[in-house]
A and B are shown apart, each in its own frame.
Chain A
Amino acid sequence: MNIQQNTEAQRMSFWERLYLPEIVRGLSITFRQMFKPKFTRQYPEERWEPLGSYRGYPVLVLDEDGERCVACGLCSRVCPALAIEVQAGETEREKERYPVKFEINMLRCIYCGFCEEVCPEEAIVMSKGYELVFEDREAAIFSKEQLLVPIEQLQDRLEFLRRYK
């Protein structure tokens, strides 16, 4: 269908139709921006440190006594994407259950944070990590050793959870 009325060309004023003044106006905006503060950064040389409320990929908390996880399997049960697999085993420690295997498939993880919310031991938390690059699918499945993070690095998140969870 050919639209003959109210076209772009008909709506333009005389000065707009002259073309050159509009070009100058546009370039002046561009030129002014060059002297304003920048919002972009030189990633990866400059990195962004998220706040405690940020939900990066989930990690396991490693405190003074070792891992907190008791392999209850609730994170695995609640995970909507079935990203988490836990296999429990028995230890001699006071909490007699521990994860023999704890795997998160980071290709499946949707960063919803349900695992963190359901965890009765505050053992799995969302980290600040947002850089996930894999060369193959197997590498995307993080083992327990890859997931364990010392508690000092997770203070922001734990503080956030204590306050708002």
Chain B
Amino acid sequence: MPVITLDGHRLEVPAGKTIIEAAYENGLQIPHFCWHPALSVAGNCRMCLVEVGLPRRRPDGSLELDAEGQPLIAFLPKLQIACATPVADGMVVNTKSERAVQAQQAVMEFLLINHPLDCPICDEAGQCKLQEYAFRYSRRVSRFQEEKVHKPKRIIWGPGVIFDAERCILCSRCIRFANEIAKQPVLTFVERNDRVTIELYPGTEFDSPYSMNVIELCPVGALTSRDFRFQARVWEMSFTDSICPGCARGCNIRIGVHHNEILRLEPRRNLHVNQYWMCDEGRLTQYGFVNHNRVNGPQLRRTATGQLEPTTWEEAYEAVAAALRRYKPTEIAIIGSGRLTNEDAYAVVKFARTVLRTPHLDFPRRDDPYFGDDFLRCRDRNPNTVGVLEIGLKPAAGGLSLAELPEQVRYGSVRCLYIVEEDPAALSPELQQALEDAEMVIVHASNYSSTTAHAHIVLATTTYAELEGTYTNIQRRVQLLRPAVATKERPRFQGMAMSRWDKFGAWNDRWAHGPQRDCRQTWQHLREIARRLGTTWKWSRSEEVFQELAHEIPSFAGMTYELLEAYGGIVLGKGRSPDPVPPLRYESHVLKP
């Protein structure tokens, strides 16, 4: 393998890699705008100019050595771009030498000539490459006295993306993304010289299902999200690593929270799963239900009024336990969900088998052939189908499947429906009829839905953003979710990501907390109900449920939350020998407060 020296660091790099890849694979940095590891190399921003030298050789191929026995280095007369220069054995690269620094400063000055410097208005401020490099690599003063070139602002590119041509530094990342990743080649450079700008081909729209990834990809604030625009500054938000619950892919995401409300989701690097991307559908639809229409606290339907009315947890659990005691095991059917975390699914299965002893246990599949594609989106819209099945959330011997259930409810052989984080009434008219026919409907729900409209008891449950747990994606990779939104049960200071306002706001600041719902995770509900039915489970945290699950179910053996976090998820059955993390650790969009 070629050995290169980069700023004095000796790196062993596989042949064929470029200098910038070698740097990022070894935790070093080279300033750049247009290079991105997942895109082709354009080499047009010139920010990654570095000084490159090769050892001097005699005609017979031997190295020329200096007086101290070190090889003499012949530096190339001109600087090279690190993104397009492959490594060679003995190569010496300087990114901090006088010539390289001069080039970086010149490029920065050049890029800033026509950049509007409207950082106070721009959404990118705080995570902008140009802003950061202006501090790190520019001379910090401009010699440009003339009028800046004005270009169109607020051009709508598509349903998700809005373009500001003045801020654009013409790195062409979005063009390459559209061509290579989104496979919707609608963008191109037009004009010449300082009037160059990016335009859509006439009559087209950038509406690919992955179009909004260009927002993170854009090194400046030229491309902003129409959904998020101006809602908060990045430094006012806290960011939590989590998993998108939108489909079985389980794209790694970062949840941006402000005043305890989710304002945006953005993709997070995981080269095993989603690389650097996520789909627009996931980004736009998977946070609204966390903020709105939430069940807050346990609710009981009063016979007097026929309405769901808030009650205490104690009373609600007693009511559930009393209701479950009234029926024979075979009269109770549990409808689980593919949206349950592995921990919650484990608790549901354990509850069904050891506490209720009912064989009727199933969950609805969400198959959407129109959603699936050959990139990230999966037709299975449940985020944890694989995990839930692996744990055994399926009808036991003699148990009813979901399709057979409505008939048995109508005949009265199943009289109590126990629905866990699912909305069967919305799925089929038969199931809706079954809910109407059932004598007793107990629902764990995070949001009001057509199912809670039929429920006799509703236990308020966390959404994916409020719990700690794991999902198993379609590639059988178990991935960790961390709580991003505080609840009454779990206040923010208990280990969640915090913004400055979360940290230092006082209890009486009316903005400091935001709405905090009174909701609990499904395994917590089941633990309480199981205790009232005579079985004690000693779980106090999700991690303890996961430990038991990893102990009980062979394919999860060896997994812990620490390992899941460190390896970016572990494939089922590989708990003791996880796939190594790819060395290229690159973030295109990072908050630097």
Contact = CB atoms under 8 A, between A and B. Distances in A.
Q: Do A and B come from one complex?
A: yes
Interface of A: 70-74, 76-77, 82, 85, 87-90, 95-97, 105, 120-121, 137, 141
A120 B122 CA distance: 13
A85 B120 contact: no
Nearest to A103: B511
B75 interface: no
B504 A82 contact: yes
B125 A72 contact: yes
A89 B511 CA distance: 17
Contacts of A77: 233, 235-236, 500
Given A73-B233, A96-B154, A85 B511 contact: yes
Most-contacted residue by chain A among B121, B154, B500, B508 (CB, 10 A): B121
A71 B121 CA distance: 7
B568 to A, nearest CB: 32
A112 to B, nearest CB: 16
Nearest to A119: B120
B153 interface: yes
B501 interface: yes
Interface of B: 118-121, 125, 153-154, 229-233, 235-236, 500-501, 504-505, 508-511
Given A73-B236, A88-B230, A97 B501 contact: no
A72 B509 contact: no
Nearest to B230: A88
A75 to B, nearest CB: 11
Nearest to B506: A82
B501 to A, nearest CB: 7
Contacts of A141: 510
Contacts, number: 46
A71 B153 CA distance: 19
A12 B408 CA distance: 110
Given A72-B121, A97-B120, A137-B508, 13 more contacts: A72-B233, A73-B233, A74-B120, A76-B236, A77-B235, A77-B236, A82-B500, A82-B504, A87-B232, A88-B232, A96-B154, A97-B121, A120-B120
Contacts of A121: 120
Given A73-B236, A77-B235, A90 B120 contact: no
A89 B230 contact: yes
Given A77-B500, A82-B504, A89-B230, A96 B121 contact: yes
A96 B155 CA distance: 13
Given A82-B509, A121-B120, A71 B500 contact: no
A105 B510 CA distance: 11
A141 B508 CA distance: 12
A77 B504 CA distance: 12
A72 B501 contact: no
B125 to A, nearest CB: 7
A95 B121 CA distance: 7
20 contacts: A70-B120, A70-B121, A71-B230, A72-B120, A72-B125, A72-B233, A73-B233, A74-B120, A77-B236, A77-B500, A82-B505, A85-B511, A88-B231, A88-B233, A89-B230, A90-B229, A90-B230, A97-B120, A97-B121, A141-B510
A120 B116 CA distance: 14
Contact of B230 (A76, A85, A97, A137): A97
A142 B507 CA distance: 19
A123 B404 CA distance: 67
A24 B508 CA distance: 58
Contacts of A96: 121, 153-154
Contacts of A74: 120
A89 B233 CA distance: 12
Contacts of A105: 509
Contacts of B121: 70, 72, 95-97
Nearest to A76: B236
Contacts of B509: 82, 105
Contacts of A90: 229-230
